[in-house]
Amino acid sequence: MNIKTIPKDGLEGLKQNWKADALSGFLVFLLALPLSLGIAKASEFPAAMGVLTAMIGGLVVSFFAGSRLTIKGPAAGLITICAGAVTEMGGGPDGWHLALGVIVVAALIQLVFGFLKFGSLSDFFPHSAIHGMLAAIGLIIFSKQIHILLGIDPATLNGLETLELYERIPDSIIHEDFRVTLIGVISLLIIFGLPLIKSKMVKKLPAPVFVLLVTIPLAWIMDFKHTEPAFDMVQVGNFWASVGFNANFDMIGTWVFWKYVIMFLFVNSLETLLTVKAIDGLDPWRRISDYDKDLRAVGIGNAISGMLGGLPMISEVARSSANITFGGRTQWANFFHGFFLLTAMLLFIPVIEMIPNTALAALLIAVGYRLASPNEFFKTYKIGSEQLVIFVTTIIVTLATDLLVGVGSGILMKFIFHMINGVPLRSLFKARFELVQTNGDYYIKVLDAAIFSNLIGYKRLFRSFVPGKKVVFNFSEARMVDHTFMEAFYHFQEEYQHHGGQALATGFDNFRAFSNHPLAARKFDPVKQITFELKLSPRQLTLRKFCEENDFSFYPQKIKSVLKYKDFPIEIGTRIRFEENIMERYIDQGRLTISDITLTEGAGQAQQDTQITVAMITESNLTIPDFALEPENLWSKLSELTSGTDIDFSAHQVFSKKYYLRGQDESAVRKLFSEPVIDFLEKEEEMHIECHKNKFLLYKNRGLAELHEIPNLIQFSEKFLKLLDANTTVRTVL
């Protein structure tokens, strides 16, 4: 794939990218189908209405959306609100119809918000409070779904609060249905076991696909349809007959109705905007979405979905991240995902009704675990202990009351911390800074504080800069800079520098960071300057000794990497956010740098960080065409539809079967891979090799290299570069 050529929008984009978008849309459909069914059931809606929501999100909303790569559909984050609305409005079909009225009204207000350009309001909410809200939702999802996985009748759980559901778990274990539980446990083993399998092909396919491939045959073999109660199987019924005008507005004059309108509007809009922002950071072409347009598009989709009987939809983070991983390029991937869902509901309802509900419960338990996993607590603590307090406060209050009060408590706690740390009242909501332009460059002196509640003002400032200039932020006269601002500033740096500019932060010499995290909050403290005793891990101590013995310079500190890996294929659909344990020395072909990079895939709660040890050669005198070489497998064959044709060599079948080679200038790449180069690659262990603008990136696999593997990586890099050097020298002489 040529990431320099930005895919076109509209019909031109369809003509240009239909193969890539259709393939990605199909794979996302496989992920969306079971999740949509499960989310609908957990929301007290008819199961098939979750699929209806995703269909509308693909077939309709894709034409209005302001983002190219997000997938629209029902989301786990709204389960609690949907189920609460149905229950408080009477439950059953009547509660469902009344909840639909709430969704339609909230959607119309959401549409107005889009026209009023409220898309930037998501910047007001601190990250720790939002993550706390999502973690609380995860705990609520688990409290109900664990009973479904055990084969307990959902009707016996109606009216129970979250803590009561947790108290009932021992009783449900005692009365569990063994056959149902067996399939549920197998589903969980598949979901949590697949990431441990190293196969690239296995990692590319969504876990729900494997769950369905295993559990549907098991349920058929055990004859669940005739031996188990009806509530243990998915029931679609006469789906198309039930699609019509289903919304009921009889309770529009009550507080309950408007309470859920506010909750739908708040959580739905916030999750949508945060997802669009996160997916923009993963877009290989760094396209900027129109937040207000996307908010309007989701409002249109929610209004149609609510009228016809479906759930509210958002830009869903897990499916959107998967879309990028699968090679989606334009909004047509979302359209194709909706098209395949429509096809399934037209042709495969009997197959869908063979899905056991315990399998869907397992999928939702996995979603709940991702939202509230111990790792979420640990990641929050690493950013700063004050972030953990806000995070936990939001969780506790949400579980005790509701989502709005929970998020409000998190915001209040954040304000308290800021006041304690000396933020003046005048800067709580107003961005105070001085801007000076010199020779076309921008110099900004930040005054008082840069925090979540005045971030909107700084976002306007970010957007005002002309691309390609130098921007220097001086924080020496500030008193407090929080994590939310640091995160936003980091994304601004990435984006601005991607478009040829330079963005710098200065003036933190007299600040004390709240943790060693690069984006931790920090406050002005002239007594305790920002000097942390660097405590080396066992790995770092070992690497330092290796560097001392092998004439390498060693820099263990974690730093932000913005431009170093720009446009390398490894960054397609991912972000390289940090780099640490940097080892450097010069070799004959240039400067060799070995480091541990943190590769971030996905976004939000679907985000996964992978640490990889890579070697990079820069300052080389070689003139080499851009290329990417990776070990070939089944997924590589599928990738040819989206990432470029494999360059094979008929005289070297071993190499052609071993490696997937691609490059824009095929003729130049073929000349580069001479017989000595190919012979070397055939004999050596498999390696990933990327070349961009005469810089080389090499790594063995997606993981940290052990100490004994580092010399092999060095030797491979030196031998490979020597062969390329000899090859280009011979061609130059000839």
Angle CA 57–61–67, to nearest 5: 105
CA distances from 338 to 22, 348, 542, 591 (A): 11, 15, 52, 49
Together in a domain, 519 and 546: no
Domain end (from 480, 496, 524): 524
Burial of 188 (0-12, 13-18, 19+ CB in 10 A): buried
What pLDDT sits at residue 728? 67
pLDDT in tens, 408-430: 999 999 999 999 998 999 999 99
Q: Is residue 2 part of a domain?
A: no
Together in a domain, 519 and 545: no
Residue 163 identity (one-letter amino acid) = L
Together in a domain, 606 and 473: no
Together in a domain, 502 and 551: no
Residue 502 lies in domain: 425-524
Q: Is residue 676 part of a domain?
A: yes
- Whether 187 and 211 have beta carbons less than 8 Å apart is answered as yes
Q: How many domains does the chain have?
A: 3
- The predicted model gives 287-298 an average pLDDT of 92
Together in a domain, 477 and 605: no
- Tokens 């609380």 correspond to what residue? 136
- Whether 192 and 367 have beta carbons less than 8 Å apart is answered as no
Q: Is residue 4 part of a domain?
A: no
The least confident of 149-153, 417-421, 489-493 is 489-493
What pLDDT sits at residue 531? 47
Q: How confident is the model at residue 664 (pLDDT cuts 50, 70, 90)?
A: confident
> Residue 489's domain is classified under what CATH number?
3.30.750.24
Q: How confident is the model at residue 1 (pLDDT cuts 50, 70, 90)?
A: very low
> Whole-number mean pLDDT of the chain?
89
Q: How confident is the model at residue 203 (pLDDT cuts 50, 70, 90)?
A: low
Q: Is residue 71 part of a domain?
A: yes
- The predicted model gives 101-120 an average pLDDT of 93
Q: How far is CA 118 from the centre of its chain?
A: 23
Model confidence at 564: pLDDT above 90: no
Q: Is residue 530 part of a domain?
A: no
Q: Is residue 100 part of a domain?
A: yes
pLDDT in tens, 507-557: 988 898 888 788 889 999 877 544 444 578 889 999 999 999 999 999 888
- The continuous run of DSSP H or E covering 437 comes out as strand 433-438
Together in a domain, 516 and 577: no
Together in a domain, 372 and 443: no
Q: Is residue 529 part of a domain?
A: no
Domain end (from 372, 406, 440): 406
β-strand 574-587 against 590-601: which pairing, if any? Answer: antiparallel
- Whether 501 and 469 have beta carbons less than 8 Å apart is answered as yes
Please list the residues that pair with 575 across neighbouring strands: 600
Together in a domain, 429 and 394: no
pLDDT in tens, 433-487: 999 999 889 999 999 999 999 999 999 999 999 999 999 999 999 999 999 999 8
- The continuous run of DSSP H or E covering 428 comes out as none
Together in a domain, 727 and 695: yes
β-strand 502-506 against 470-474: which pairing, if any? Answer: parallel
Q: Is residue 504 part of a domain?
A: yes
Among 198-212, 269-283, 417-431, top mean pLDDT goes to 417-431
- The predicted model gives 296-321 an average pLDDT of 95
- Whether 43 and 78 have beta carbons less than 8 Å apart is answered as yes
Together in a domain, 463 and 602: no
Together in a domain, 242 and 107: yes
What pLDDT sits at residue 201? 66
Together in a domain, 165 and 212: yes
- DSSP for 490-540, please give it: HHHHHHHHHTT-EEEEE--TTEEESSSSTT--EEE-SSS-S-------HHH
Domain end (from 501, 524, 547): 524
